[in-house]
Amino acid sequence: MKVLRTFAIISALFLAVTSCKVEKPADTDGHDLWFHNLEKVADAAPAEYTTEAIAQSEIDQYWKGKAAVEIKVLDQKDEALGRDGYRLVFSKGKVAVEANTAIGTLYGVYGLLRLQQTDALPKGAKTITEVPAFEYRAFNHWDNLNGSVERGYAGQSLWNWAELPDKVSPVYQEYARANASVGINATAINNVNANADILTTDYLKKVKVLADIFRPYGLKIFLSLNFAAPKHIGGLDTSDPLDPRVVQFWKDKTAEIYSLIPDFGGFLVKANSEGQSGPQDYGRTHADGANMVADALAPYGGVVFWRAFVYDAQAEDRAMQASDEFVPLDGQFRDNVLIQVKNGPIDFQPREPISPLFGQAPNTNLMLEVQITQEYLGHSKHMVYLHPLWKECLDTDTYEFGEGSTVAAITEGKYRNNKLSAISGVTNIGNDVNWCGHQMIQINWYAYGRMAWNPDLSSDQIADEWLRQTFSSDPKFIKPVKDMLDRSREVTVSYEMPLGLHHIMASNAHFGPGPWEDSYRKDWSPLFYHKAGPDGVGFDRTVATGSGATAQYNEPLASTYENIDTCPENLLLWFHHVPWDYKMKDGKTLWDELCYTYQHGIEDAADYIKIWEKVEPYVDNQRYQEVRTKLIRQAKDAMWWRDAVILYFQTFSNMPIPDDCYPPQHTLDELKQVGVFRWTPGMPRVRRPEIYEVLPEYTLPKYPDL
């Protein structure tokens, strides 16, 4: 009996252990994005290609709840819901998805399925109302007509212009569905460095095919225009916005577009920046140019996104130019013009202060532009969750209308009573099978859409949603991976450009360090930004002794940034030129603080590998191996950044690297010979050579076998 009892106990323990064993998921290539765990319960293709049919089909295929779902466009419109908002009404045995429009109900269906996938469905009777913060929640594709993507790291363009309009890829509908599922409703499909040919009749017929596919998903097409199009494709000898012939060209071209695409959204414009043509070529202002285009669009309800990304190589401080050029024009833009402002005053750096323009133009529609593609954050090779960066900007107070005038409040129109509101993100999407080139940075596409709908959502909440829908809901997976994502932006800042350092990357591909580079344009040169010398490092932007950029901010920001003692240390070298032996708040010298910050960045990046290995049972083999390989590369790149920057700065500081920091594995001369080479300044952007890499070899101290 004792033997039998012992055997029974052992058997029970064995069964308990084996029953708790995690079943390894089947391999997947990641193409299904955050729909991965959306289990199909029935096959139900939509009866026709309409918004209403698609919404019903999504419920028929994926709703697992016992309650019946009723999708209803309200007869009596609810003003509070607007065009895109929806209401989910949960009652006994029934869920009602209500909205003023069909697209509102589709957003509601995706919202309901999201609650199902994230285990967040209410238990009893409840009403959930969702209304987007921004009217236009826009994507900017920097795709060229030859299939290349400027600052794209996930293959070639999604749009196969050679095959359109006759051959249509199923990926176009998949793209529209993914965007609708997170509320993105506008997409500019071509590069802001625009080829005027996109506006020719042949290309517009191709664009029409995409617009027809996108329409049932509520996704409006925008086009980036080349301001010199009247000369390039219109047969004119000028593109002067005040010339009647030019005005007529744009009226005629706009009418042609709307005849093909009746719900065309409008134009995105980059003008008088980085060599692009613009109204200043003819002695006109940005307002003159924007208003001409806006007037052509106005009869059809179209809008203009006019970029504030302007700078001149002769300027003393590139960070000041957007405000210098646009503040004097405040109040001069048409109501259907939005000035598209990057989150920071330079160019999507790992950390920047907000653009001061957000707090300086009370009579102008302003919209935020963020970069989803990781131009300065490790391309698709590094895992960086970008929502914390964007949230930092949105939550920053401009103090324009007193305390509470955050960038989010300003751009949503809470203080200015904007007639329009919008937000835009430069995409990280290409034709790679997993869309983004890295399984983990698909989160940035998802997070951008969720943020554009609701800027109040936390980074933690969005990461939790994405992980549950894309990988697993098991807490043993969610907790460590979410923590890794939440701190990944700070980790990247630590090993790339900490304490306010900026624009010290290699200029050829904006990947890897290049603090020694001296471009033929000073405003593209790392030397111009870090100004390292025996006396210290950092860009002096104070009024007292520097460029005066601090004065472009409202109080109390201006005084806070001006004073080295009150300036946030994570922006110290952005606003101040600081001696190497300057004492930081923790008592360390600036030099030691830099060394230890880089050291922490390396250690944290290496820890990603350990975290990922621990969650292996919850991830399919294909995605697990792809991500692990990228994380190893990221940790080695962190060491490359540290060695290059610290060894270069050491030639000025003449101070030792602390003994408890990792010793460099390469010399400065060796590191000057390596990098990722893509194009050189001055080379036409649509005729780049193939990418090639000459990267330094590194051994990870924590993982010497990798």
CB 202 within 8 A of CB 208: no
In the block, residue with structure tokens 């401009």 = 398
Local structure of residue 141 (DSSP, 8 states): -
- The three-point CA angle 546-552-555 to 5° equals 110
Q: How many other CB atoms are found less than 10 A from the CB of residue 571? A: 18
At 397 the three-state DSSP class reads strand
Residue 269 CA to residue 465 CA, distance in Å, equals 34
Distances (CA, A) of 573 to 308, 351, 392, 472, 536: 24, 11, 18, 41, 10
Q: SS3 of 77, please?
A: coil
User: Which DSSP helix (H) or strand (E) runs through 594?
Assistant: helix 590-614
Angle CA 276–278–281, to nearest 5: 105
> Could you tell me which of 628, 620, 501 has the C-alpha nearest to residue 32?
620
The tokens for 115 are 């609650």
Residue 128 CB neighbours (<10 A): 16
Query: Backbone dihedral region of 442: left (phi > 0), alpha (psi from -120 to 50 degrees) or beta?
Result: alpha
Looking at 98, 288, 347, 496, which residue is catalytic?
347
Phi, psi of 122, rounded to the nearest 5 degrees = -65, 150
C-alpha closest to that of 359 among 524, 546, 169, 558: 558
**What is the rounded CA–CA span in Å between residue 154 and residue 160?**
15
Give me the amino acid identity at 485.
Answer: L
User: How many Cα atoms are found within 13 Å in the side-chain-facing hemisphere of 134?
Assistant: 33
Residue 274 is a catalytic residue: yes
569 noted as active-site residue: no
Among residues 583, 604, 597, the alpha carbon closest in space to that of 649 is found at: 597
Please identify which of the residues 274, 316, 395, 460 carries the catalytic annotation. 274
**Hey, which bits of 276-346 come out as E strands?**
303-307, 337-342
- The active-site residue, picked from 150, 369, 375, 593, is 375
Q: Is 347 in the active site?
A: yes
8 Å CB contact between 539 and 577: yes
Q: Which residues pair with 128 in a beta bridge?
A: 88
In this structure, what are the phi and psi dihedrals at residue 4, rounded to the nearest 5 degrees? -65, -40
Q: Which residues of 183-199 are buried (b: 16+ CB within 10 A; e: fewer)?
A: bbbbbbbbbbbbbbebb
Q: What's the CA gap between 637 and 114, in Å, rounded? A: 36
Tell me the Cα Rg of the chain: 26
Q: What is the DSSP letter of 126?
A: E
C-alpha angle 318-640-439 in degrees, rounded to nearest 5 = 85
- Work out the number of other CB atoms within 10 angstroms of the CB of residue 658: 12
Task: Dump strand ranges (E) for 272-392.
Answer: 303-307, 337-342, 366-371
Q: How far apart are CA 400 and CA 407, in angstroms?
A: 10
| Polymer length in residues for the chain | 706
Both structure tokens of 177: 């569905």
- Please report which residue ranges of 360-503 form alpha helices under DSSP H: 387-394, 407-412, 442-453, 459-470, 475-486, 488-496
**Known catalytic residues?**
274, 347, 375
